Amino acid sequence: MRTNLMLIMVLLALAACNGEDPMVDAAAPATHLGGCILLSPSADVPADVYVRGELGATSAIPPFTKELQVYGLRLAARDEISDEFMELVAQAITEVFPQDPELDLAMQRTVLENHYRYRALIPVPLGDDFSFMEENEEQWAELESNNSICDIIMQATPNGQVMEVVEHILHYVTDIGLHHAYPDVWGISDNSLLATAMQKAVDEGYYDVSGYDDIGDPVIRFRVEIQEFAYWFISTAWNLQAPYGPTHEQEWTIRNQQELQEKLPELYAAYEQTAARVMVAPSAETLMQIGPTRAEEATQ
C-alpha cells in the first residue's frame, strides 16, 4: 500500500542525492533479492527459535537506540517510539505463530529459522518521519547492506494502525519466512503460484498495481507488487479487511475469505496447505489494543 511506496521513494531520493537518477539508474543491489532480502544467509539460528527478547537500549544498530527481538524479527526504534507500542507489535508476532499442536510445527520452525538466517530487521519510525534515514545516510546504508529490510511499521498513523502493524509483519513473513520455506507457492519469482495468482488478480481487476508504476527498477517493483499481493491475500483470508482495511481502497477489491476462495481458488487451496498450517491471525484482543476498527474510527 502507500506506506511501502513512500518508503521506496525516500530510498530512491537518497540515491538521487548521491548523483543517481532514481527512476533510471537506481537498481536492486546484487546482494539482495528485490532490493531488500539478503541473498545469502548470514546469521546463526538459536536452538530456541521462539525467543521473545527483552526490549532494551542498544548501540549496535545506529541510528536506532532500542530493539526488541521476537521470533527472528528484530524491531528497531528510536527513543520517540513508545515501549508499549513495540511490545504490542511483538505480542502480535507471537500470536501469529502459536505453538499449537494442530499446526505443522516443524514447518513453522523452518519459517522462523529463515527470519534469523536472513537477518530480518524492522524499523519502527514515528508516523511518516523518515528523517533518520536522510540524516544518517552512512549508518542507514550499512543497515541495509547487512540486513533484510523490506518495510517499516509506523507508530501513530492517523488511521489504520491495526493494518499498519499486520501488513508489515506479513511483508517480512512472506518475503523471508514463507519465500524460503515454500518457494513453489510463496516464492518471489515469476513462476511461483503466488506470482501466477497475482497476474490473474490483475487481469480480472481484483488487484490494481498501477500505484507502483513510479518504482523505476522492475525487479524492485515486482517484489513490492508481489509482497503487497501476499499481504492482501492473507489478511483477507484472515477476514481482517472488512473490519480493519481501508474503506475506499481501489488497489484490492476482495473483502472476505469466502469471496477470496471463489475468485482465487488455486492459491487459496495452496494457502490452506502451507501458510495456514504454520500461522494464524493475531487475537482480537491484541488487535483491539493496537487500534480501532474502521467503523470505530468513523465515530471518533
pLDDT tens, position by position, 51-94: 999 999 999 999 999 999 999 999 999 999 999 999 999 999 99
* pLDDT-based confidence at residue 294 (cuts at 50, 70, 90): confident
132-142 pLDDT tens trace: 888 999 999 99
Q: Is the pLDDT of residue 157 over 90?
A: no
Residue extents of the structural domains in the chain: 2-298
Q: Which three cell numbers stand for residue 95?
A: 500470536
Q: What values do phi and psi take at 170, rounded to 5?
A: -65, -35
The secondary element (H helix, E strand) that includes residue 66 is strand 66-70
pLDDT of residue 27: 62
Q: Could you tell me what percent of the chain has a pLDDT over 70?
A: 90
- Specify the amino acid at residue 22: P
Q: pTM here?
A: 0.92
12-28 in b/e form (b: 16+ CB < 10 A) is bebeeeeeeebeeebeb
Distance CA 26, CA 4 (A): 17
DSSP codes of every residue in 202-258: HHTTSB--GGGTT---HHHHHHHHHHHHHHHHHHHHTT-HHHHS-TT-SSB---SHH
